[in-house]
């Protein structure tokens, strides 16, 4: 589902993106992009904010669906919950985002991370499980830090 903000810049979705589950659960805002090899398991809502980039090989999971005959089914059962990603995020290559996670605006999630918990806005999170290694108050502080780093 495309959310048509004004002015409308359509999302860019690589045609090799795989969506499993219900397409109508996928909510895409203006100018977000999804690159080659992404897998969206959409048994619950997956919302991707404006200008957010989902890089190569990212997996977004909204559900757990073990076989009911599996002895672990009693513990894990069937569950689903949404994944919400804010505006202007960069989800780097091969990140996995688990069900129920919200990522605030202007976050970077480093390549290969597994995101198991919410990430606050203006953060850099890396690793398995993903940990916030940098947190800024706002975009201005974030940009200032980066330009000082480059000097």
Ligand X SMILES: CC(C)(COP(=O)(O)OP(=O)(O)OC[C@H]1O[C@@H](n2cnc3c(N)ncnc32)[C@H](O)[C@@H]1OP(=O)(O)O)[C@@H](O)C(=O)NCCC(=O)NCCS
Q: Residue 1 or 133: which CB sits closer to ligand X? A: 133
Give yes or no for residue 112 binding ligand X (CB under 6 A). yes
Name the CA radius of gyration of the chain, rounded: 16
Q: Where are the beta strands (DSSP E) in the chain?
A: 12-13, 18-21, 26-28, 33-34, 39-42, 46-48, 53-54, 59-61, 63-64, 79-80, 83-85, 90-91, 96-97, 102-103, 108-109, 114-115, 123-126, 131-135
Q: Please select the residue that binds ligand X; options are 108, 121, 122, 123, rule is CB under 6 A.
A: 108
Give yes or no for residue 104 binding ligand X (CB under 6 A). no
Please list the residues that pair with 140 across neighbouring strands. none
Give yes or no for residue 55 binding ligand X (CB under 6 A). yes
From 40-48, 60-68, 72-80, 120-128, span contacting ligand X (CB under 6 A):
120-128
Give yes or no for residue 110 binding ligand X (CB under 6 A). yes
Give the separation between CA 68 and CA 101, rounded to whole angstroms.
25
Tell me how far, at minimum, the Cβ of 146 lies from ligand X, in Å. 7
Binding site for ligand X (CB under 6 A): 55-56, 92-93, 108, 110-112, 124, 126-127, 133
């Amino acid at each position: 589902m495309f959310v048509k903000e004004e002015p409308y810049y359509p999302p860019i979705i690589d045609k090799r993106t795989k969506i499993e589950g219900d397409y109508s659960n996928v909510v895409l805002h203006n100018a977000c992009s999804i690159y080659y090899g992404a897998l969206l398991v959409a048994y619950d809502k997956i919302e991707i904010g404006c200008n957010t980039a989902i890089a190569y090989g990212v997996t977004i999971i909204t559900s757990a669906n073990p076989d009911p005959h599996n002895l672990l089914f009693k513990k894990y059962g069937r569950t689903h919950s949404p994944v919400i990603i804010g505006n202007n995020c960069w989800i780097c290559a091969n990140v996995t985002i688990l069900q129920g996670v919200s990522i605030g605006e202007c976050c970077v999630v480093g390549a290969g991370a597994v995101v198991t918990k919410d990430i606050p806005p203006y953060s850099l999170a890396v690793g398995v499980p993903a940990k916030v290694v940098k947190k800024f108050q706002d975009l201005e502080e974030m940009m200032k830090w980066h330009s000082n780093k480059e000097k």
